[in-house]
Amino acid sequence: MKRLWAILIIGFVAWGSSAAVLAATPMEERVKNTLSRLTLEEKAGQMVLGEVGYITPDDVMTYNVGAVFCGGGQHPPSGNTAHDWLEMYNAFQQAALKSSSGLPILFGVDAVHGMGSVESATLFPHNIGLGAANDPDLMYAIGEATSREIAATGLNWNFSPCVAVAQDVRWGRFYESFGESASLQESLVKRYVEGLQQYNISATAKHFVADGATAWNKRNHRSSRELFNPDAYKMDQGDARIGNKELREIHLVGYREAIEAGVDAIMISHSSINGVRLHGHSLILSLLRSELGFQGIVVSDYESIHQLPGNFGEQVIQAVNAGIDMLMEPRRWKYAISAIVEGVKTGAISEERIDEAVSNILTVKYKRGIMDQPIKSPDPALFGAEENRKIAREAVRKSLVLLKNEGNLLPLSKDSSILLLGPGSDNVGMQAGGWTLTWQGTTRKDVKGISIRQSLESVAVENGGNVYIRRDDAAKADVVLVVIGEIPYAEGVGDNGRLTLDSATAHKDNLQALADAKSTGLPMIVILLSGRPLLVTDHIKDWDAFIAAFLPGSEGGSGIADVLYGDYDFTGKLPMTWPKTAKQFSETIYKRNYKERDYLYPFGYGLQLTD
């Protein structure tokens, strides 16, 4: 009788577990099976992300590294065409397949306004301009086109979108945000992520959380990148002093939207909340995992765990236990692997935590087809395609905000004679801003695209107009158009406490160009190329028309010509409040000490030609 019971119980248990097997999806099964054959060292290898330049294909093979990336400005040693990138990708991938685990890699890049690291990419307006356009379908199209261009290089992981709700115009990353109101993240993030994840590219919502709320402060942190420009680091990577309500109502919105769209990864912020570094914060588990239910990869930011207390081994343990699955350790990836293994051996990290992290990584590799088709041979014509450039041009014209148009100076007639002045008038690098070819962007002439001068000249040639570029030709012109703005910058290097037209991030020729233009006595149009509002209060009385063009990218010239000549009307609206004085820099729409009329322009402001 006892034996009969035993048989029945065993049978029941076996049935139960096969029912559980049936309940698991085929993908879950594949992940589980793969995980079960990995050694601890192989699992730890999957959890690191090394940077090209500090890691070779051989390293990836030897250490079972889970992912590599090209940070801003990194590109293949052989050259910087999409083809060079594809060869680099396949070389790393082939090496990964020869590792003891045989697992392919994720290969990441910051395609934050198109695949900007690569020569001849389509460069879309930076997010701040897309916030001004506020067009969800356009976001999907931009995401999809970006995804197509990434796919043409073989890569499979994008460190975008930045869903920061930037509250202070002094922040060097202001332009990476759609703007100061969470309503913009609500309207744009979901569609953008959906578009970005087409063509099996993983997107990354960043930087969790409240990176857009850090306080302006005296050097409130230390990091390796601080060495780059010690004086500039006043706000980036700082501390957000906010309460729960503000955190949820403003800064969490983009993550909710991204998760709903099925975003594959979320990057943790270099910054802190109320003095606690996010890379070791309990919010990763309590808010991101438990409350929002995020199941994808949580990735650390560039060497950011180094800002946690303790030695490197202790930092790795804190980060992994805080819920980070993959460590972006560009140079110290090998030590990070040893620290993870050591952490498990000493019991400081549980094996369950490691299994959970590696499962999250493997799930993305299966979901995106990387396990099944790691080696790529895409159609090279996908890169920089005319179809993508058309989308970028549409994005430009929708992102421009007309702030002043005295006496209906605009639109210009196509046969006008224009005196074109200013440092941004023939400079695609300035149109493109940071994260273009290099981390900080460049004003060198090698950024491919259409400058404002080129597009105005082609309209003039076809219609009997003229474009003069020397002040001495003023007498022949009907109108003077001056293009001023900021030089390219990225991250903390762009922190700027003054924001005047001659301050640190402003182009040094701005004031001279404005003075030259004014001296002509001609009606004056000013276009500002910048990542944020600059203080123009003392100058604007001299300007008849004023357009905020943000950082419009490679098709900037064409998109600007489209509205200047009235082929399309302006539809862009300010995604931030435009300060009148430096005192208003930290005035967000959530914390107002001034009345709307006290600012230069309110949030949402923008004229049309028909106004």
**Residue 132 and residue 571 in contact, taking contact as beta carbons nearer than 8 Å:** no
Q: How many CB atoms lie within 10 A of CB 593?
A: 9
Cα–Cα dist 393/122, whole Å: 10
Of 171 and 302, which has the nearer Cβ to ligand BGC?
302
DSSP class of residue 132 equals H
Of 71 and 280, which has the nearer Cβ to ligand BGC?
71
H/E stretch holding 536: none
Of 180 and 329, which has the nearer Cβ to ligand BGC?
329
**Residue 412 and residue 565 in contact, taking contact as beta carbons nearer than 8 Å:** yes
Residues whose CB falls within 8 Å of the CB of residue 321, separated by 6 or more in sequence, listed in order: 348, 349, 353
Of 278 and 354, which has the nearer Cβ to ligand BGC?
278
Shortest distance, CB of residue 129 to ligand BGC, whole angstroms?
Answer: 18
Residue length, the chain? 611
Shortest distance, CB of residue 166 to ligand BGC, whole angstroms?
Answer: 14
Q: Which of 135, 264, 491, 587 is catalytic?
A: 491
Shortest distance, CB of residue 53 to ligand BGC, whole angstroms?
Answer: 12
Shortest distance, CB of residue 233 to ligand BGC, whole angstroms?
Answer: 12
Can you count the helices (H) and strands (E) in the chain?
19, 17
The type of residue at 123 is: L
Of 438 and 530, which has the nearer Cβ to ligand BGC?
438
Shortest distance, CB of residue 278 to ligand BGC, whole angstroms?
Answer: 12
Shortest distance, CB of residue 159 to ligand BGC, whole angstroms?
Answer: 4
DSSP class of residue 599 equals S
Of 72 and 104, which has the nearer Cβ to ligand BGC?
72
- Displacement of CA 66 from its chain's centroid (Å): 22
- 119 noted as active-site residue: no
Cα–Cα dist 397/561, whole Å: 8
- Interaction site with ligand BGC (CB under 6 A): 71-72, 110, 159, 206, 270, 301-302, 491
In our burial notation (b when 16+ CB lie closer than 10 A, e otherwise), range 411-447 reads bbebebbbbbbbbbbbbbbbbbbbbbbbbbbbeeeeb
- 301 noted as active-site residue: yes
DSSP E strands in 313-461: the ranges are 327-328, 401-405, 417-421
Q: Which of 301, 303, 329, 562 is catalytic?
A: 301
Please, which residues bridge with residue 108 across strands?
Answer: 69, 157
Task: Just list the catalytic residues.
Answer: 301, 491
